[in-house]
């Protein structure tokens, strides 16, 4: 389990940032989770269980991270999947969090890498606990 506390004021900041990001990117659903699979926050409507999505998103991201290491990459910062009805973009938030983003349709928004990067920076700046975690997963 994650070893940091999120206070009420931090939770409100997280929720406000995720809400604004969801509207700006037109995402259907955004899930912020610890890399141990713990759900931290979510916005939008999910078609499945958020805990299961957190665990599967973490497994997927960690698998891609290992593939990156095999090919000499120090670590991927994001992975994406496109389907017919929905697309998923998973990005690292610091060393121990992930943001799983679900979008309608078979395409991700243009410049999603840039939008996600800016959102990650806002989350890290807004919640000091995210950068002080001692159980960094590699």
Instruction: Please give the Cα distance from 135 to 34 (Å, whole number).
Output: 10
Q: Cα 76 to the chain's mean position, in Å? A: 13
Instruction: Please give the Cα distance from 99 to 32 (Å, whole number).
Output: 5
Containing 63, the helix (H) or strand (E) segment is helix 50-70
CB atoms under 10 Å from CB of 44, counted, come to 15
Instruction: Please give the Cα distance from 6 to 3 (Å, whole number).
Output: 10
Domains annotated on the chain, with CATH: 8-128 (3.30.450.30)
In tens, the pLDDT along 18-55 reads 999 999 999 999 999 998 889 999 999 887 899 999 99
In tens, the pLDDT along 89-131 reads 999 998 889 999 999 988 999 999 999 999 999 998 887 777 6
Report the pLDDT value the prediction gives residue 138, as an integer from 0 to 100: 43
Instruction: Please give the Cα distance from 122 to 116 (Å, whole number).
Output: 10
Instruction: Please give the Cα distance from 123 to 132 (Å, whole number).
Output: 13
Residue 80 dihedral angles phi and psi, to the nearest 5°:
-145, 155
Helix or strand or coil: residue 40? strand
15: pLDDT confidence band, cut at 50, 70 and 90?
very high
Report the pLDDT value the prediction gives residue 4, as an integer from 0 to 100: 63
pLDDT at residue 134 greater than cutoff 60: no
> What is the rounded (10 degree) CA torsion for 21, 25, 26, 28?
-60
In tens, the pLDDT along 56-81 reads 999 999 999 899 999 999 878 899 99
């Amino acid at each position: 389990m994650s070893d940091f506390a999120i206070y009420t004021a931090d939770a409100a900041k997280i929720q406000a940032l995720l809400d604004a990001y969801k509207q700006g990117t037109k995402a259907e659903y955004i899930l912020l989770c610890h890399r141990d699979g713990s759900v931290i926050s979510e916005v939008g409507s999910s078609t499945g269980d958020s805990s299961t999505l957190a665990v599967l998103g973490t497994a997927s991201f960690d698998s891609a991270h290992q593939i990156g290491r095999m090919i000499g990459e120090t670590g991927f910062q994001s992975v994406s999947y496109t389907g017919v009805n929905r697309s998923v973009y998973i990005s690292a938030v610091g060393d121990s969090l992930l943001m799983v983003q679900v979008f309608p349709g078979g395409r991700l928004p243009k410049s999603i890498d840039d939008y996600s990067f800016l959102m990650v920076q806002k989350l890290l700046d807004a919640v000091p606990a995210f950068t002080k975690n001692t159980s960094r997963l590699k």
